[in-house]
Amino acid sequence: MTAPILQLTGVSRAYESGNRRRTVLKNADFAFESGRMYAVVGPSGSGKSTLLSLASGLDSPTTGTVRFRGRDIAELGLGRYRNRHAATVFQSLNLLTYMTAVQNITSAMEITGVRGMRGSRRKQRAVELLDLLGVEREDQNRRTLQLSGGQQQRVAIARALACEVDILFADEPTGALDHETAAGIIEVFRKLAHDEGKCVIVVTHSREVAEASDQVLQLKRGKLTVT
């Protein structure tokens, strides 16, 4: 086994409401590797989004640690971890619909500070990523509002990758897509893991996504098991 890129050790998350305290993720242990695609599955309310938030540095565990290349992400800084190493494609995509596909990516690069890259180089990088994800050149310069759901999903993935992150998280990426479009997106994730060496972690209800993954993590009432 190669050294894990991301390691969860005894990770729990509890929420307080009034005088009640409920643990929704219980003592999760898992080591993720580069070059592999993982699916996180489980019934509604089982803790999938909670796990995603903790592993992607959007939230902190109540107990336990999340380590990126051996270093606690709390020490590294959650903002820095998210900007430089781990990006998330949210269900809502959050694309700027009045901008083109290319502009969505170059503006994200500006905001998250891909340093030392001039405007023309940023644009070139955006085109490279969109090519990699199979967005046709003529569609790359259309406003994302005019693109199909599958194309928008590809743009959101390209944007997440723009900062050369090592880990890509996606929350229910095929939920709103028809079967054929979903199959294309699944292929994109597999390619990013197997050809580009990324660690891809997908929260999903889809059997197809789970079957296409290298490993499936199952959550049931906050308990993580690996199948």
Q: Three-state SS for 33? A: coil
* Residue 173 sits in the site that holds ligand ATP (CB under 6 A): no
102 forms beta bridges with none
Are the C-beta atoms of 226 and 216 separated by less than 8 Å? Answer: yes
Are the C-beta atoms of 192 and 15 separated by less than 8 Å? Answer: no
* Residue 50 sits in the site that holds ligand ATP (CB under 6 A): yes
CA nearest neighbour of 183 among 202, 201, 208 = 208
Range in contact with ligand ATP (rule: CB under 6 A) among 27-35, 41-49, 67-75, 127-135: 41-49
* Residue 47 sits in the site that holds ligand ATP (CB under 6 A): yes
With respect to ligand ATP, which residue has the nearer C-beta, 37 or 41?
Answer: 41
* Residue 49 sits in the site that holds ligand ATP (CB under 6 A): yes
Are the C-beta atoms of 13 and 58 separated by less than 8 Å? Answer: no
With respect to ligand ATP, which residue has the nearer C-beta, 126 or 219?
Answer: 219
Q: Three-state SS for 186? A: helix
Which of 45, 113, 119, 197 touches ligand ATP (CB under 6 A)? 45
Are the C-beta atoms of 59 and 24 separated by less than 8 Å? Answer: no
With respect to ligand ATP, which residue has the nearer C-beta, 30 or 125?
Answer: 30
Angle between helices 101-112 and 149-161 (to 10 degrees): 30
With respect to ligand ATP, which residue has the nearer C-beta, 44 or 120?
Answer: 44
Start-to-end CA span in the chain (Å): 17
With respect to ligand ATP, which residue has the nearer C-beta, 42 or 57?
Answer: 42
Range in contact with ligand ATP (rule: CB under 6 A) among 28-36, 48-56, 144-152, 182-190: 48-56
Which of 11, 34, 39, 42 touches ligand ATP (CB under 6 A)? 42
User: Interface residues with ligand ATP (CB under 6 A)?
Assistant: 15, 24, 42, 44-50
